[in-house]
Amino acid sequence: MNKTETYKQYLEQIENQSFQFLYELVNINSQTKNAHGVNVVGKKCIDLFALLGFTAQIFPSKIDPTYGDYVFLTHQGKSKENIALVSHLDTVYSEQEEKSNNFFLREEGERLYGPGVCDIKGGTIVIFMVLKTLKEKNPQLFEKYTWNVFLNAREEEGTDEFAERAMEFVNNETKAVLVYEAGGEEVNGSNIVTARKGVARFYMETIGRQAHSGTDHHRGANALLELAHNIVKIEQETCYKKGLTFNIGEAQGGIAINRVPDHAYCYIDIRTKTQQDFDYAVDFIHKFAGKGIVKSRSGDFKCQTIIRQMPSYPCWPENPSSDKLANIFVKAGQDLGQQIHPKPRAGASDGSFFWQIAPTVDGLGPIGANDHCSIHKPEEGKEQEYIIKSSLCERALLNIIAIEKWLQQ
C-alpha cells in the first residue's frame, strides 16, 4: 500500500469522530459578540488539539475585554522551522437569528447545514484531521517541524489585535501560512485562494440640530439629509474596472416623523485590489470629516460629519510566493484526481496579514457555500450555509499531500 492510500484509509477511520467534533462546535453559538460562546468553542478546540500534544496560549483582548479570547496552539518540533494553520472561533449568527430562521444542524444527502459549518468550523476540523494523520502516519515529518494553529476570536468583525499576536509566531522560519476558510465548488473541481481584496471599514456619523418639523422647521439642520448627500457621493466612487467598491451596509437616523433629525449614522465597507486604491479610498472617506453642506434655513447652524476608521484588512495581491505554494496544491490535486483552481477572492480573511512574511494560501477548508446565510427558503432561491460532507476527508488528504510536497522540496 502506498503512502497516499495509507493516509486515505486513516482519514476514513477518523471521519466519524471528526464529524462528531464538528457537530459539537457547530451546536455552540459563537457569534462574535457572544464572548461566552466564543470561549466555549475555544476551550473545545484546546481540548481537541491537546489530543495531538498541542499546548495552548490564551490571550484576552486588551482593546475590548467584552470579546472572546484569542487562542494560539503550538506543537514544538525539533526544528525552528514552522507552519502556521489559521482558523477562527466566531461566526456571524446571533442566537436570535438562529432561532428565528430555525438554523441548526441538519443533513440532506451530501450536504451538512449549520451555523459556521462552512465559515469556518469545518476548516478547524480539517486542520485537526491533517495534523492527526501526519502525527500517526508520518511522525518523522510531524516531529521535525513546529506547528502553530491560530484561532481568531474576532475575524468576522475584523481586528488588528489578532494579527499583532500572530506576528509573534510568524517569522523567517515560517515555511507556509495555510488558511482554512472553505473552498468553493466549481463545475470541474474546486478552488483555493491566492489573493484577496483589501478591506477598509468606517463608521460615519452626522450631527445636526433638532427642531419641531412644523413650527421651527427653519431652525433645524437635518443630519439625515447630510448623511444622504455623503452616501450618494461615496457610492458614486465605486469603479468595477478597478475592482474598487464602496458599500453602505447599514444606515439610520432620526427618531420621530415630526422632528428634524439631529443625528444619523452609517457603516461603510470598501474593497480594493491594490494598495494604491486602498490608500485613496481611506483618504477619500476621511475628507468628509468636519463641516458639511446642510445648514439650517435660518443660517446659524451647519451639520458636521464625524469619521471613525474601524479595523481593516490590508490588500493581499497576487504574488509569486503564494502562487508557488498554490501550484503545489494543484500538483497534489492532480496526484489525487482532483482539479484545483487557484484564484483571487473578494472576501476578507486573516491570510491578508501574512503573505508578505511567508507563502500564504487560503480556501483550504472543506467545500461549501452560502457563507453568512441563515434563511432556508429554497422556493425563493434562499439557502443556508453548508458543506459537502465528503469534502472533509477529500480536502484533508489534499492538504496532507501538498504539505508533504512543499516541505520536501
Task: Read off the CATH number of the domain in which 338 is found.
Answer: 3.40.630.10
Give the model's pLDDT for residue 1: 72
How much is the average pLDDT of 47-70?
A: 97
What pLDDT sits at residue 409? 85
pLDDT tens readout for residues 192-227 = 999 999 999 999 999 999 999 999 999 999 999 999
pTM: 0.92
Choosing from 313, 336, 355, the residue where a domain stops is: 313
Residues 322, 308 within the same domain = no
In angstroms, rounded to a whole number, what is the distance separating the alpha carbons of residues 348 and 106?
Answer: 27
Angstrom distance (rounded) from CA 176 to CA 163: 16
pLDDT, position 27? 98
- Of 295, 313, 331, the domain-final residue: 313
Do the beta carbons of residue 203 and residue 308 sit within 8 Å? Answer: yes
Q: How far is CA 13 from each of CA 7, 22, 26, rounded to the nearest angstrom? A: 10, 16, 22
Q: Which of 313, 335, 360 is the last residue of a domain?
A: 313
Mean pLDDT within 60-83: 96
What pLDDT is recorded for position 226?
98
Given a cut of 90, is residue 348 above it in pLDDT?
no
CATH code of 282's domain: 3.30.70.360
Looking at the fold, whether 36 and 60 belong to one and the same domain comes out as yes
At 9, the pLDDT band (50, 70, 90 cuts) reads very high
pLDDT band at 82, cuts 50/70/90?
very high
- Specify the pLDDT at position 20: 98
**Which of these, 40, 12, 11, 46, lies nearest to 26 by C-alpha position?**
40
Burial status of residue 299 (CB atoms within 10 A of its CB: 0-12, 13-18, 19 or more): exposed
- Residues 383, 394: one domain? yes
Q: What is the mean pLDDT of residues 121-133?
A: 98
Cα–Cα nearest to 305, from 324, 334, 323, 285: 285
DSSP state of 209: B
| Count of domains observed in the chain | 2
51, 125 contact by CB (below 8 A):
no
CB-CB contact of 219 with 296 (8 Å): yes
In this structure, the answer to whether residues 114 and 207 fall within a common structural domain is no
3-state secondary structure of 13: helix
Q: How many percent of the chain have pLDDT more than 90?
A: 98
Mean pLDDT, to the nearest integer, of 348-372? 96
Q: How far apart are CA 87 and CA 4, in angstroms?
A: 25
Is the bond preceding 375 in cis, omega lying within 30 degrees of 0? no
Q: What gap in Å lies between CA 248 and CA 242, rounded to an integer?
A: 19
Mean pLDDT for the stretch of residues 370-386: 97
CA atoms within 13 A on the CB side of 343: 13
- Pairwise CA distance, residues 119 & 113, whole Å: 11
As a whole number, the mean pLDDT across the chain is 97
CA 21/CA 31 separation, integer angstroms: 19
- Whether the pLDDT of residue 347 is over 90: the answer is no
400 is written with which cell numbers? Answer: 496532507
Question: Based on the domain organization, do 42 and 176 belong to the same domain?
Answer: yes
The whole-number average pLDDT for the span 290-301 is 95
Cβ(201)–Cβ(221) below 8 Å: no
Q: What is the domain range of residue 272? A: 198-313
Cα of first residue to Cα of last residue in the chain, in angstroms, is 23
Are 190 and 51 within one domain?
Answer: yes
pLDDT one-digit tens code per residue, 181-199 = 999 999 899 999 999 999 9
